[in-house]
Amino acid sequence: MSRKILIAGNWKMNGLLEDGKALAGNVAAEVKKLGKPECEFLVCPPFTLLTTVKKALRGSKVAMGAQDCHTAEKGAHTGDISPVMLKDCGCSYVIIGHSERRADHHESNELICQKAEAAHKAGLKTVICIGETEAERDAQKTIDVCTRQIMGSVPDSATAADTVIAYEPVWAIGTGKTPTTADVEEVHAAIRKVLAKKLGKGNANKMRILYGGSMKPANAAALLSLPDVDGGLIGGASLKASDFMAIAASVCKK
């Protein structure tokens, strides 16, 4: 299967200018040392750091993404950022529908789908996030919830070239808890089946499905070696270049 592993860092609401410059510079320098790495790298800083990070990544193979976007290209939407603006400042990706946005900003599947469509129209690739809460998991609704989220928040027009799915169990984010590798593989395989139904087998087989939620150097190799896990969306451990690169080292050979 020719799915290139994607090692993605979601910096969330962290970092001032100097931190962003240093972190991006360190990641770029480490990735450069890998020569032609077998995997792809992505960092997603907060909006305020995009320009600084872009400069620090210059000449490196590390792509940059944002953490959200609006559905419109421009206009009267105070405080929002459009996908066209993100593309303009050097982003090639945008994370959409992260559970923290679903919770903090009441984002619905429908809105997330519209954001993804707008991002694709602007020429951005999307990382669309899904995942169950602890209560949903306890009620054995994980696959149902993920199915509903995929059906509602992934555009019908999505392809493996413009869309990446991130499975992030809400209860595993920032908690140090992770599902067992067997559970992760079961959910990822189920997600791929749903994608096949929605987008066709060709797209589903090529589309990358990342795991996110307390991924760190100690558990990355086990998670990233699962057949249907095509990379990681890393929060806390992406804020330290050495941890981020240690996670990558478990799968990206020189």
Q: Give the binding site for ligand 13P (CB under 6 A).
A: 10, 98, 168, 173-174, 212-215, 233-237
User: Which of 70, 98, 120, 188 is labelled catalytic?
Assistant: 98
> How big, in percent rounded to 5, are the helix, strand and coil portions of the chain?
45, 15, 40
The count of other CB atoms within 10 Å of the CB of residue 134 is: 13
The count of other CB atoms within 10 Å of the CB of residue 178 is: 19
* Shortest separation between residue 234's beta carbon and ligand 13P, angstroms: 5
Dist. CA 88–CA 193, nearest whole Å: 35
- Does the annotation count 120 as an active-site position? no
Quick one: 69 or 84, whose CB is closer to ligand 13P? 69
Quick one: 101 or 192, whose CB is closer to ligand 13P? 101
* Shortest separation between residue 235's beta carbon and ligand 13P, angstroms: 2
User: Which of 40, 117, 132, 168 is labelled catalytic?
Assistant: 168
* Shortest separation between residue 106's beta carbon and ligand 13P, angstroms: 18
* Shortest separation between residue 185's beta carbon and ligand 13P, angstroms: 19
Reduced to 3 states (helix: H, G, I; strand: E, B; else coil), residue 16 is coil
Dist. CA 129–CA 46, nearest whole Å: 17
Quick one: 7 or 233, whose CB is closer to ligand 13P? 233
- Does the annotation count 98 as an active-site position? yes
* Chain center to CA of 229: 12
Tokens of 114: 């519209």
Quick one: 155 or 167, whose CB is closer to ligand 13P? 167
Tell me which residue has its CB nearest to ligand 13P: 235
Place of tokens 């240690």: 246
The residues annotated as belonging to the active site are 98, 168
